[in-house]
Amino acid sequence: MSKMPKMNLWIDAFNSDTCYLTNEELGIYFRLIFFAWSKEGYLPNDKNFISNLAPNSKPENIDYILKLFWNYDGSSWDKGWYQKRLLSEYQRAVSLTETNRENAKKRYAIAEPSQSERTASISKSNSISNKVIDSYFNKFWEQICYKVSKGQARRNYRKIHQDWWEEPQVLSKKYNDYYNSLKDKQYAQHPSTWLNAEGFLNEEVEVKEKMTDEEMKDWKFKGDVEMRKKGIKPLSWSVGYIRELDEFIAKNDS
């Protein structure tokens, strides 16, 4: 590829995930994700090299950011640390860039039509595409258990990648699993918000049956720890609870 694909920044998720970081920690966070994006989604398997990416930063702060937001691979020098979401977004961006490039080559290989023909073709294509997407959306909407803000949900459904809007049954199951896993439904994301935040990319958590209250509390805490490691933070989490999760992760991953 001659150019790197553009990097999206999801403002809501970024603010909620990093609101408690100091300015120095936030600077380290940006330095690391920007470098990883330029290196196919990975930081190298070299702590000294990573330290040089954020010069004059305290080593303990760099370790803190790595433990909070990164997973360790270690299979090679250039693939030491990665973020699941960042890596997935990079791979998808590369795929879309390559697809767009190939489509552009095919278009230019065909004789260019007149302006009126292009306008009519684009209008027809958009109309057909929206009808097709809406048919998939209707199947999704029929099967989800929490039907709120249908119009906005339809608009956000059109925005997701084609590979996903062609799988309405899979999406509806993922949303229902997410919704049913929440103990307090008042904090559940509306389908439109869930689609916009690409909640379907989050790993599913299987709920166990017949647990005692203590087992359920322990199971939920461990699930929250795994979510925190992936950079996920529901709005229901307080700053104090986030600190408790971070301290648990730092203690048990050291």
pLDDT of the residue at 28: 92
φ/ψ of residue 42, rounded to 5: -125, 150
Give per-residue pLDDT as tens, 191-233.
888 888 887 887 554 444 445 667 767 777 887 888 778 777 7
- 129 has pLDDT over 90: no
Is residue 231 within 8 Å of 16, Cβ to Cβ?
Answer: no
pLDDT of amino acid 84: 84
In terms of Cα–Cα distance, which of 156, 139, 146 is closest to 192? Answer: 156
**Which residue would you say has higher pLDDT here, 253 or 120?**
253
Q: What is the pLDDT of residue 27?
A: 92
Question: pLDDT tens digit string along 220-231?
Answer: 788 788 877 877
Q: pTM here?
A: 0.39
* pLDDT reading at 115 higher than 70: no
Across 30-34, 60-64, 207-211, least confident range: 207-211
Nearest to 189 by CA among 203, 205, 178, 173: 178
**Tell me, what's the pLDDT at 64?**
92
**CA neighbor of 7 nearest in space, from 99, 100, 101, 93:** 93
Q: Higher pLDDT residue, 79 or 117?
A: 79
> What confidence score (pLDDT) does residue 107 get?
67
Q: What is the mean pLDDT of the chain?
A: 79
pLDDT surpassing 90 at residue 141: yes
Determine the pLDDT at residue 108: 65
pLDDT grade for 1, boundaries at 50, 70 and 90:
very low
CA torsion sign for 142, 144, 145, 148 is: negative
